[in-house]
Structure 1
Amino acid sequence: MKTNPGRFFEDYRLGETIAHAVPRTVSGGERALYHALYPARHALYSSDAFAQSCGLPASPLDDLAAFHTVFGKTVPDISLNAVANLGYAEGRWLLPVYPGDTLRSQSTVIGLKQNSNGQSGVVYVRTQGLNQRDAVVLDYVRWVMVKKNRLDAPAPEAVVPDLAKVVSPDRLVVPQGLDFTRYDFTLAGEPHRWGDYAVGEQIDHVDGVTIEEAEHMLATRLWQNTAKVHFDATNRADGKRLIYGGHVISMARALSFNGLANAQIIVALNGGAHANPCFAGDTVRAWSEVLDKAPTAAPGVGAIRLRLVATKQGAAPFALKGADGKYAPEVLLDLDYWALMPI
């Protein structure tokens, strides 16, 4: 058999490391397509001159574009037969990615737990994205629900990794040379500094974008994400293609520009959940909450911890969970991350 049906839950072994196929050299084309798919306007990722004024050699690829590229490599081995991508933890961006860099991915299985129905299980992996110099540019944990192929396959011993709820500020990696002391707030688009935000503050990002089937399919192909639930409408009983969770993440991050234009660089992913499915025709809006703040050693640079929530039509303002502790049905994404901002 020469074709690859993908891995099923019973095919994973605790501790194994999987080297994912097809390295990818990124270019300005990825940036242009990323900005065509999402209303992304953060200045550091839009202008070489702006990035150079902040101490970087050039404008890096958007952090989430790098994330999607690394993530996409893992799909044929980790989530081709996924029911759903469930969450993230302990994510850190360790090096900027520039046009001309070549990215590849590898994942280590760090946890396995069969579901009580015996038809699927949860696989936990730690994924690293490496560049052409074998330097790690990105490291994160995710867990995904994967179908079983042989229902009589014995359940593995349940191992659920103990994951940090938050990446501590002392583990945040600030890009070498980053300096916000000469930061141009006019060119960035908003005057709000790190000191202008208070822990507990909530920000309604106002704008909304209706998800289009064609744009979602372009995104999944761009990141080489081949998960069946995104491509094959016959794969789900409702006949709908599930919108790729990364598409929702990038859409919400781009919408957050209105109110957080100066949260320029994502440096850590503390946690995240795709709370409810998203389908073509849904209109996505976003709001943020300031969870924490921390200084950094870089000149003029502060770290801000943000909760980014994406919702769809019908959501109440700042709605998240009901009295039962479950996400409201209109909540699509609940993401907890650290970003860098001028002090």
Structure 2
Amino acid sequence: MGAKTNAGRFFEDYALGQRIVHAVPRTISGGERALYHALYPARHALASSDSFAQACGLSAPPLDDLLVFHTVFGKTVPDVSLNAVANLGYADGRFLRPVHAGDTLRAESEVIGVKETSSGKTGIVWVRTIGLNQRDETVLSYVRWVMVRKRDVIAPAPTASPPDLPSAVPAEDLTLPEGLDFTNYNFDLAGEPHRWGDYAIGETIDHVDGVTIEEAEHMLATRLWQNTAKVHFDATNRPDGKRLIYGGHVISMARALSFNGLANAQLIAAINGGTHAAPCFAGTTLRAWSEVLDKAETPNPSIGALRLRLTATTGAPFALRDEMGKYLPEVLLDLDYWALIPR
């Protein structure tokens, strides 16, 4: 009789073009919204206030973009990164439709690249994942790549086939939620007066505040997103006996900290690229800073887009790479994204 349990996929189990339908669909409620705001100091008004969202033309407040991202991401973990050494990065992420309380999300992925590492013990797998709602509408699409253990280190390596990924989502491809309009935007209630025109390309912003990452909150977040990656919840899975903090936890914490200086960057429209530059463990005090990389108009004259670099660090603001171009050891996250902001 065959075993009924699943040890997860190893590098040899992936093939270019392979399609994976992920279990289990999940209906999102207002409870997840409250838990997200309890885990992170998230205060952006559009996702916090029903009446604020309705005043901005939306029928209902959208759930935080990263809450949606984590939920879809969590669906993929048993099939993509259960045996991962690390989640390495993201690209070509597009938020296509708002998700509201009561929506049901599921996920599907396609393997778009594979490459064995030089050690021969692991390989890198690239997947494009889509998140779909109960109407089979795509709400989110993104690419990520992970380093996965091999089951058999002497197994032959597949032909290396890394994908060709765009450096950024073109501004003209950004999706505006249906009905969104910032004409009557209330800056007092949002928390800051800064509009799209107040930001300059090349400007850097120190978000000032810091948060010490706690084991309990990280474990709650990992379970909330149903993320089953062993390195996050099993302390025996690493030689140092530490649980690796889920990279999405770092992203959400940094995004929440960015409220101080970017309170009006209400929605994430796209993730152009992202790198988890260093591992994060409980006890780490995380700080964040941003750089304005680009600006763009949108078809709605009340809405602008800012392309932002969000950096999570344990060190000083505005320090990113050394003279050799490598990330400084204190840098945890380098995230490049488009945000929608009133003009």
Q: How far apart in 2 are the matches of 1:47 and 1:299?
A: 23
Q: How far apart in 2 are the matches of 1:298 and 1:238?
A: 52
Q: How far apart in 1 are the matches of 2:316 and 2:141?
A: 35
Show the counterpart of 1:328.
328
State the shift of 1:324 in Å: 1.5
Q: How far apart in 2 are the matches of 1:12 and 1:123?
A: 8
Q: Which amino acid aligns with 2:318?
A: F
Q: How far apart in 2 are the matches of 1:304 and 1:318?
A: 18
Q: Which amino acid aligns with 2:290?
A: S
Q: Is the 8 A contact 1:20 1:105 kept in 2?
A: yes
Q: Which amino acid aligns with 1:163?
A: L
Secondary structure of the corresponding residue to residue 234 of structure 1: coil
Secondary structure of the corresponding residue to residue 138 of structure 1: strand
Q: How far apart in 1 are the matches of 2:169 and 2:302?
A: 21
Q: Give the number of aligned pairs.
A: 341
Q: How far apart in 1 are the matches of 2:119 and 2:313?
A: 30
- Unaligned 5+ residue runs, structure 1? none
- Unaligned 5+ residue runs, structure 2? none
Q: How far apart in 2 are the matches of 1:323 and 1:329?
A: 13
RMSD: 0.5
What is the aligned counterpart of 2:88 among 80, 86, 89?
Answer: 86
Secondary structure of the corresponding residue to residue 154 of structure 1: coil
Secondary structure of the corresponding residue to residue 106 of structure 2: strand
Matches within 5 A, 1:40-51: 40-51=42-53
Secondary structure of the corresponding residue to residue 291 of structure 1: strand
Show the counterpart of 1:249.
251
Identical positions, percent: 76
Show the counterpart of 2:238.
236
Q: How far apart in 1 are the matches of 2:185 and 2:100?
A: 21
Q: Deviations over 1:40-81 (max 9, x none)?
A: 000000011000000100111000000000000000000000
Q: How far apart in 2 are the matches of 1:46 and 1:204?
A: 23
Q: Is the 8 A contact 1:127 1:139 kept in 2?
A: yes
Secondary structure of the corresponding residue to residue 84 of structure 1: strand
Secondary structure of the corresponding residue to residue 236 of structure 2: helix
What is the aligned counterpart of 2:148 among 146, 149, 161?
Answer: 146
Show the counterpart of 1:168.
170
State the shift of 1:153 in Å: 1.3
Show the counterpart of 2:210.
208
Q: Is the 8 A contact 1:92 1:140 kept in 2?
A: yes
State the shift of 1:299 in Å: 3.8
Q: How far apart in 2 are the matches of 1:52 and 1:298?
A: 17
Q: How far apart in 1 are the matches of 2:218 and 2:324?
A: 32
The structure 1 segments of at least 4 consecutive aligned residues displaced by more than 6 Å after TM superposition are: none
Q: Is the 8 A contact 1:81 1:228 kept in 2?
A: yes
